């Protein structure tokens, strides 16, 4: 120990670094966790006038992200109902094979 019971300056500096580095890591981790997510694109914005019945297709477009080549997919926006038959807008992805077996479908 240095004079008067104080620790050497280099030891105090290392102690400060040992406290500041974990604090900075925690701030960085918190910033990553609370980073804003992407907002949905315009496809998911419902039209100003929504038909008054469920089951109406409002919008559709081809969807290719993560879909194997032998499949086709579309993202769709459609009308549906929620609790107590309240009209709502929902979205989904429809996926179909490019290689359908012969014969009728049931």
| Whole-number pLDDT of residue 3 | 58
| Whole-number pLDDT of residue 31 | 83
| Whole-number pLDDT of residue 102 | 86
| Whole-number pLDDT of residue 4 | 58
Among the residues of the chain, which ranges form H helices? 9-33
What lies within 8 Å, CB to CB, of 44 at 6+ separation is 77, 91
- Could you read off the pLDDT of 72-92 as tens digits, one per residue? 999 999 999 999 889 999 999
Neighbours of 90 (CB within 10 A): 14
In degrees and rounded to multiples of 5, residue 31 shows phi and psi of: -65, -40
Low-confidence ranges of the chain (pLDDT < 50): none
Instruction: Note whether 18 and 55 are within 8 A (CB).
Output: no
């Amino acid at each position: 120990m240095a004079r008067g019971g104080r620790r050497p300056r280099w030891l105090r500096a290392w102690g400060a670094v040992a406290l500041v580095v974990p604090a900075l890591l925690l701030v960085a981790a918190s910033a990553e966790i609370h980073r804003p997510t992407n907002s949905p694109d315009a496809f998911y914005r419902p039209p100003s006038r929504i038909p008054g019945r469920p089951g109406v297709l409002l919008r559709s477009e081809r969807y290719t992200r993560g879909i194997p080549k032998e499949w086709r997919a579309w993202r769709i926006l459609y009308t549906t109902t929620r609790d107590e038959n309240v009209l709502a807008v929902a979205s989904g992805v429809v996926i179909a094979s490019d290689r359908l077996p012969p014969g009728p479908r049931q």
